[in-house]
Amino acid sequence: MGLSRRSLRGRDILSINDLSREEIYTILEVAKEFKLEGKVGRRERLLEGKNLALIFAYESTRTRIGFEAAMHQLGGDCIYLPIKTMMAARGEPWKDTARVLDRIVDGVAARLLEEKAIYELAEYAEIPVINASTPTDHPVQTLGELLTILEKKGRLEGLKITYNGMTRALCHSLLLVCPKLGMDIAVSYPEVYSIDERVLEEARRNAEETGAEIILTHDLKEAVKDSDVVYDCILMRSYLAGEKVTDEDKILIEKYQITEDVMKLAKEDAIFMHPGPAFRGYEVTDDVIEGPQSVVWDEVENAFYAKKAVLALILG
């Protein structure tokens, strides 16, 4: 096992920016290996007897199923813990919850609505803690997105990606990781949303090191021009986790909707991505998500293998 593989053992992954370029590429390489093994029906039970706690503040399809299936294929088990079923819902501090979990399970993946909660869990738990989505980061999903881009384009460095949608977890993660890997990124978002200033500061530092360009705009068509990847996300933030944003009802849907005409502004061989759930008729039209440039179902598969790689490297 190489140095970067060993460096991940026992680690927390709270932000995509916690990972070095080498560590990101290591995870992607392991994910590719697992994907190849999966195609021939080979499964190594690297986590036999280990348990992962899944703490979720709101509903999930892809993230929950991905972690559970990955853990089971690796020989381990998952314990699904909706917060409403935990004493945290009655006010037990996260630092106490962390120490309870520490004595029972081998790792935690948590999808929380407060950033400080994931960091409190990690501070007081000695077992690895994985961010399974918070408002400012979604690191493991982002690794899966990078795997899809690498698979479809053969490289990451030198590409241009356009992000369109709400300024939440994946927007922030992509802002952090794309410049780190030498990718230009344009972010198109409605005026009612804002980008986390701390994330933006870190993203700009990453861009300074690689020479990557960061563009922030409210003009989708301008952002998409000459893009290699058009990455769409949920437009109406309240549709994901019920987080109502002031003036969300004033968003002009047609201004931020990916249509066939918008896709024509990107490069001819551009791919369309969406992490799901996709609200058709809002951020994207049916003909785009079902069209030949769409790779959304490959994203689902690759996000699963990214989770499998992260779990094997951290808990193995």
> Are residues 208 and 246 located together in one domain of the fold?
yes
Which residue range forms the structural domain that includes residue 122? 3-137+301-315
Instruction: Identify whether residues 95 and 161 lie together within a single domain.
Output: no
Interatomic CA distance for residues 101 and 154, integer angstroms: 41
Give the per-residue pLDDT at 242: 77
Residue 90 sits in the same domain as residue 224 = no
Cβ atoms of residues 33 and 1 within 8 Å: no
For residues 201 and 109, state if they share a domain: no
Q: Based on the fold, state whether residues 61 and 189 are members of the same structural domain.
A: no
Residues 176 and 239 in one domain: yes
pLDDT at site 88:
96
Q: Quick one: 67 and 123 in the same domain?
A: yes
Residue linked to tokens 């392991």: 30
11 & 129 share domain: yes
Residues 36 and 166 in one domain: no
CB 165 within 8 A of CB 233: yes
The pLDDT, as a whole number, for residue 7 is: 85
Q: Give the total number of structural domains in the chain.
A: 2
Cβ atoms within 10 Å, residue 188: 24
CATH of the domain at 165: 3.40.50.1370
Residues 6+ apart with CB under 8 A from 272: 230, 232, 258, 263, 284, 288, 289, 291, 293, 294, 295, 296
Question: Is 216 found in the same domain as 82?
Answer: no
> Do both 85 and 162 map to the same domain?
no
- pLDDT per 10-residue tile (average), the chain, 316 residues: 76 98 97 91 91 96 97 97 97 98 98 96 98 97 98 98 97 98 98 96 98 98 98 91 84 97 98 97 98 98 98 97
CA distance 41 to 44: 10
Same domain, 120 and 153: no
